[in-house]
Structure 1
Amino acid sequence: MSKLITILMAALLCGCAARGDAAGGAPYAGYGVKFFGDSHLGSDALIDAFRRNFFVQNSVGFVPAMMPRYHANENVSFKQKGFEVISSRTEQDPDFPLCGVIATAKNGASVQIELKQLSGDFEVEILHKDAQAGEIFKVRDASGKSLYISQEKEGAWEYSRFRLSFPITITALRDGAKLGGYKIYRKNARFADSCASNGAFSNIYEKWGTGAFNRDFAKLKYNLVIIAYGTNDAMDPHFDEQKFYQSIRGLIHSVRSASPGAKILLVAPPRSPKVPSAARASAVLAKLARDERAMFYDVAGLMNEDGGWSGWRSMGLVRPDEIHLQKAGYERIGAALAGQLRSRL
């Protein structure tokens, strides 16, 4: 069934009553949503449809340093030169920030960051690291303001906070200086951001630094966290249900440590015929939702309303690889998910 399975609804609704926004008609004066997931979220199509159907956004939230190849963000675009970008999906680093992306400057590197859907001034926190203290980046915004980022503690991730107008350009003053992400927000921020990685397994968060969750969640209030892993785990011919359970459970606990008040929703993956253990993964997530007092949503329920996978294929919503969906398919899921949650939160 496509409905949300809610656990202890009275507790779920506590503190989440809708609040009117006379200026924009949004249901919440401030509301943050974080998505964690794999390639089904990597194009941002599902998440952007969720944003458009859930609230009127006024902020961006947390954004990785840059978008790795084949990934997109419908809120932000990057034009960079001279940065080496690595991802925790395929690379190793002992201290990946949240979302697992690091951009390291080479030969006078620069990056221009532009907002696609929003405009005006924002509070911007830039995550950076360098082996030596001192000025490492110059920031110039759309108003012509120029500011400098200084590394205070050698070899540690730090945030520098500014009020900026987009687009902004960040220029490296030192080879080897690193960027780890950005927080972009306003007062009473309404946003939905994501940590999505193509090909990611549910335990990818274990490759991020020990302080990533608490540090990179800070200053952004997340009311809802949506966890949508399972496709890559379930494609493994040796899929281990207990290992998958413990992996997602560990992520839930990391989220709750960083954002104790956030409600959590687990989303089961589509039932592609090329993902033999998708139904088993869904059953694990449903059990975990009960055990952890979370919510659960099964994408298969929505798809079954139109004939399941074969029905969506005939409607042109399935990609030729028979694992992923077309943009319109992801948009249908995002809109349906927003509708389900709007009626409950």
Structure 2
Amino acid sequence: MKKLKQLIGIMLIVGFALPTVVHAVESSPIINFHEPNLPKLKNKLVNVKNKVAPPDSVLRITQLGDSHTAADIFTGALRQSFQQDYGSAGIGWISPINVYGQRNTQVYYNALDWRLTSSRSTVANDYPMGGFIATPTVANAQLTINYNVDEKPSLWNATFLVKQLKKGKPLKLVDGMNYEVVLDTKGQTGWQYVSAFVMLPLTITAESAESAKLGGIWLEKNGAPGVVVSPVALNGAKQSIWTHWRSDWTNDLAKIKSDLIIIAYGTNEAFETPFNPVKYKQFLIDSIKAIRKKSPTSVILIVSPPDSMLRNKIKRGASCQAMQPPNLSIIRKVQKEVAKQQHTLYWDWSVVMGGMCGMRNWVAKGLGNKDHIHLTASGYQQSADQLYKSLSELLR
């Protein structure tokens, strides 16, 4: 029996802490291309601040993206800023078990005899939102989820995305107060939402191997006003990863009732060859329309990728234009065009870094990673601070 201990907090970056040295960064205002739901978002933020009766006092933010999101440093800093000012309403969406190389600052997992499959490695077209599935491999396989932060005991409104594979063999849960819950899909086929009130830590046990699949978990404090920020991401992903998910995955997004949906892809597309900008643009348009259909009251924000550079060209002393990934400029251009056409918000991350080839200066300042693609913890922190500042100004 193979034991897999999964500790999120150390998988990608060890010892994440808030930076103590702050370098000057550029401001990057959010462009509002007549986002129709912006007044609703402003009103929700007022309700959260005034702590009106739930559910109108919970602001939910979901960011879908690639490795810039999967590290949960950028989203973690954004979460921290919102929750310091407006309070915490909980953890939000998390993957079913730990994903190697990714992290979540809020929880840790201990999984015994569970198998993780990813929509990056297999194309099953049955993945729910997030693109991860956890399956028990033996009878009595256990999965425990607990706080990764100093948190007072709370009653949690938990929702589990479950697919039953064997009749009469549902997953069972025991929470921190020894309260037992059967994650029963009541004979329904396909992915089902099962909700329960629980106390952390919680332990899920499978009666037999391959008895059910777990596709994601949503944790929100019961009756607590505040903000929830959820990173939904895969390392190395392009937005086209959505085609590997089930056709109605936008139901999962609608289920968590996001007030603000952030779409943050583009870095991996920037290196893609061949790249078809027409096809890319149409896919982005179709994606926004699909989200609008299932989440008609949500605000959508398109975030263009941060600056990145080709290291081999840097060493050769090439021009700034030659050092850029081949599709980076056209991707930003297309994203901005789509934001304008589809009436969303738009934020250009690269402006914060000083524009084209700003990564070179950020690496020199310790804000950019030496791979010239990713940022350091300080870089993600300061980027998130700028986005929060821009959102705050927009929502006044």
TM-score of the aligned structures, taking structure 1 as reference length: 0.92
Distance 1:115 1:148 in 2: 22
Q: Which runs of 5+ in 2 are unaligned?
A: 1-26, 311-324
Distance 1:245 1:10 in 2: 21
Are 1:50 and 2:100 an aligned pair? no
Are 1:259 and 2:295 an aligned pair? yes
* Aligned residue in 1 for 2:237: 200
The two structures, once aligned, show a CA RMSD in angstroms of 2.2
Per-residue CA deviation, residues 154-194 of structure 1 (Å, 9 max, x unaligned), is 54212221110001111111211211111211335620112
Distance 1:95 1:305 in 2: 39
Q: Is the 8 A contact 1:86 1:101 kept in 2?
A: yes
* Aligned residue in 1 for 2:334: 284
Are 1:268 and 2:304 an aligned pair? yes
* Aligned residue in 2 for 1:91: 122
Q: Is the 8 A contact 2:367 2:379 kept in 1?
A: yes
Distance 1:174 1:14 in 2: 46
* Aligned residue in 2 for 1:190: 227
Q: Which runs of 5+ in 1 are unaligned?
A: none
* Aligned residue in 1 for 2:203: 169
* Aligned residue in 1 for 2:12: none
Q: Is the 8 A contact 1:213 1:258 kept in 2?
A: yes
Distance 2:249 2:34 in 1: 30
Amino acid paired to 1:192? V
Distance 2:197 2:76 in 1: 25
Q: Is the 8 A contact 1:68 1:86 kept in 2?
A: no
After superposition, residues 1-345 of structure 1 pair within 5 angstroms as: 2-8=28-34, 12-14=38-40, 16-17=42-43, 18-19=45-46, 21=49, 29-55=57-83, 56-107=87-138, 108-117=140-149, 118=151, 119-153=153-187, 155-176=189-210, 177-185=212-220, 186-187=222-223, 188=225, 190-218=227-255, 220-274=256-310, 275-304=325-354, 308-345=358-395
Distance 1:120 1:11 in 2: 32
Q: CA deviation at 1:206?
A: 1.4
Distance 2:194 2:186 in 1: 10
Amino acid paired to 1:13? P
Moved more, 149-158 or 223-232: 149-158
SS across alignment from 1:331: helix
Cα distance change on mapping 1:342 and 1:143 into 2, 3 Å: same
Q: CA deviation at 1:305?
A: 7.8
Identity %: 26
Q: Is the 8 A contact 1:136 1:172 kept in 2?
A: yes
Q: CA deviation at 1:335?
A: 1.6
Moved more, 43-52 or 131-140: 131-140
Cα distance change on mapping 1:15 and 1:58 into 2, 3 Å: closer
SS across alignment from 1:159: strand
Q: Is the 8 A contact 1:131 1:154 kept in 2?
A: no
Paired residues in the alignment total: 341
Query: Which protein has the larger Cα radius of gyration, Structure 1 or Structure 2?
Result: 2
Cα distance change on mapping 1:194 and 1:258 into 2, 3 Å: farther
Moved more, 75-84 or 182-191: 182-191
Q: Is the 8 A contact 2:72 2:104 kept in 1?
A: yes
SS across alignment from 2:137: strand
Q: Is the 8 A contact 1:214 1:257 kept in 2?
A: no
Runs ≥4 in structure 1, deviation > 4 angstroms? none
Q: CA deviation at 1:121?
A: 0.8
Q: Is the 8 A contact 2:35 2:344 kept in 1?
A: no
Q: Is the 8 A contact 1:64 1:101 kept in 2?
A: yes
Distance 2:36 2:191 in 1: 39
